[in-house]
Amino acid sequence: MKKYGFPLYAIGYIVIIIAVIGFVFNPIASLFAYIPYIFSVGAGLSIIGRLLTLPQSDDFRVRRLNNMLAVSAILVIVSAYLMFKGENMAILTLFISAFIDIYTSFRYPKQ
């Protein structure tokens, strides 16, 4: 099951990037109504992929980083909710989530 984790994660984030570009730039007004749904699908795929790829560990540092990634996943869900509401705060929560993801990717121990 772990071999499907990274492709789901990558596809999910590609879909998220496409949806965010559509949300920010709004190139076609008729597609704007579907952007929150597209974002939600990408968020779901990336969260499932992340759950499949996270290693379980007794190390305090790894558990702390996994908890930070859980907070990041919650922020992605909050971003999807805010997109449905049509608020621009979705970009801020997504930015914070991306910052947490980048931070944990550099701090995660090499295995």
CA–CA distance, 24 with 2 (Å, rounded to integer): 33
21 Cβ partners below 8 Å, 6+ apart?
Answer: none
Tell me the mean pLDDT in the region 36-64. Answer: 89
One-letter amino acid at 94 equals L
pLDDT tens digits along 67-82: 999 999 999 999 999 9
> What predicted TM-score, i.e. pTM, was given to this entire model?
0.86
pLDDT of residue 83: 87
1: pLDDT strictly greater than 80 = no
pLDDT of residue 15: 93
